[in-house]
Chains A and B, each alone.
Chain A
Amino acid sequence: MKGLLLKDWFVLWKQCKWMLFLVILYTLLPLVSDGAGTFLACFSVLFMAILPITVLGFDERSKWERYAAALPVSRDDLVLSKYLLALLGMIGAALLYLLSSLVLSAVRPGSVSPQETVSFLCLLFAGALAFDAVNFPIIFRLGVEKGRLWFFLIAALFGGAIGAASAVAGDAAVSLGQALLGVPVWAFPLAALAVFGLSAWLSCRLYARRDL
């Protein structure tokens, strides 16, 4: 798994390093920019959710999976490494945004509520996990090229939903969760993690049957 993650890192750094810089920039911009913080956080976390799909696209183009089939890695390893990459990326982007919000609230008291930020990140994280949970099995079954149409359709649906939610930040995020489902907002990422895990299991089953 370490070798596979390192390979993905090398690919990302070579092909997408400017995008990685953008993610870092967007998670730190709230320090200097009022109002745009939540939208930028959405972009950062969602982008980290999309990055493993980008890597899968590069893998497909170089037919890496044909060589990977000969390596001492299981098909489950090949699948789970992408789930892990997505998870680490999303957590990293979310933590970076949280950190910048905490710094901002310390430097300018009252400008942002840490509790609101955490609540918002819980929903955002849950949404990003759900996005990958739906997309990954399609891509592992059909490949990136064939799964692209489904990917854009789902991306458009999720983008619209997250964009609308990001306009209602703060207390509304907490209230929305509680009002709609009566469930604490922290339960959303836990539920999404469970779905993410189920998605990983499904992707492993689907990928095991593919000819590489």
Chain B
Amino acid sequence: MNALEVLGLRKNYPGFRLEDVSFTLPSGCILGLIGENGAGKSTVIRLILDAIRRDGGEVRVLGKDNRDNFKATKEDIGVVLDEAYFPEGLNVRQVGAVLRRIYRNWDDAQFSSLIRRFSLPENRAFKDFSRGMKMKLSIAAALAHQAKLLVLDEATSGLDPIARDEIVELFHDFTRDETHSILISSHIVSDLEKLCDYIAFLHKGRLLVCEEKDRLLERYGFLRCDRQTLARLSPAAVHGVRDGEFGVEALVEREKAPSSVQLDPVGIEDIIVFLAKEAGRQ
């Protein structure tokens, strides 16, 4: 059973359209949903959670349609949104008390342990928390009810590098259990590159790529050359060009480039930047 299956997902807003987004998150894996601000990442997540109505497509979460008794399925989903939306007057104890009565599998000991680990004050009102503290509370709540799937929308944004590293480690620990999976959206590519097995790149409402991270990194290479050299390559091999310091820089598909062309390794960030440029040209 896949943790998440999204097929042909569509949503229309005035001025924005999410078009035929399809991807699968296998059980036990981590899928990173990357995209620029306004690409539609949060929209995809809200559609998966059935918080907004879709205009087309299907969503299956933990093997079940998200319109079919989704309340029961949500017991197994831990969610961290782009901001923590707890009532501002509540404190950590009260948040725990509320969630204990909402989740069947709520684990008080786990919640308390995470609160201590994150050094969150138990009696301070939520409105007095910093952004980082709010996100940590949200993460603690998501991890404290034996979830099988974590859905994280910009969960590491607003955290300092030390906290981000700690959180990424927590997410790694979460997926040591083969039945646990994570969908994480972010525009901080470095976090996703460390964490993810799969990368899905969303650009202006369209999914440009969805592939295993390692295969993506093997599939493309980075070419620095002059324009004459680039012109000799098949257009099908070149995915995005920009002017470089001594010529041009291009993202090239290794399989379609001649073996004589020397390609450098390329990171995920460069891949998505070039793919976005190519998409903008088309």
Contacts and interface: CB of A to CB of B under 8 A. Distances in A.
30 contacts: A3-B98, A3-B100, A3-B101, A4-B102, A6-B97, A6-B101, A7-B90, A10-B97, A10-B98, A11-B90, A14-B125, A61-B88, A62-B87, A66-B81, A67-B79, A67-B81, A67-B85, A69-B49, A69-B51, A70-B49, A70-B74, A70-B151, A71-B102, A72-B71, A72-B102, A72-B103, A72-B104, A73-B71, A211-B52, A212-B46
B75 A64 contact: no
Contacts of B90: 7, 10-11, 14
B85 A66 contact: yes
Given A67-B81, A70-B74, A6 B51 contact: no
Interface of A: 2-4, 6-7, 10-11, 14-15, 58-59, 61-67, 69-74, 77, 209, 211-212
Contacts of B84: 67
A64 B86 CA distance: 6
Nearest to A212: B51
Interface in B50-102: 50-53, 71-75, 77, 79, 81, 83-90, 94, 97-102
A10 B50 CA distance: 27
A62 B86 contact: yes
B81 A15 contact: no
B99 A3 contact: yes
B66 to A, nearest CB: 12
B149 to A, nearest CB: 11
A15 B50 CA distance: 31
Nearest to B89: A14
* Interface class of chain B by DSSP: loop
Interface of A is mostly: helix
B90 to A, nearest CB: 5
A67 B101 contact: no
A63 to B, nearest CB: 5
Nearest to B49: A70
Contact of A66 (B51, B77, B101, B151): B51
The 7 closest A-B pairs by CB, nearest first: A14-B89, A3-B101, A3-B102, A70-B79, A69-B51, A67-B85, A72-B74
Contacts of B87: 7, 10-11, 58-59, 62, 64
A198 B94 CA distance: 33
B103 A10 contact: no
Nearest to A7: B98
Interface in B89-141: 89-90, 94, 97-104, 125
A7 B79 CA distance: 18
A10 B102 contact: no
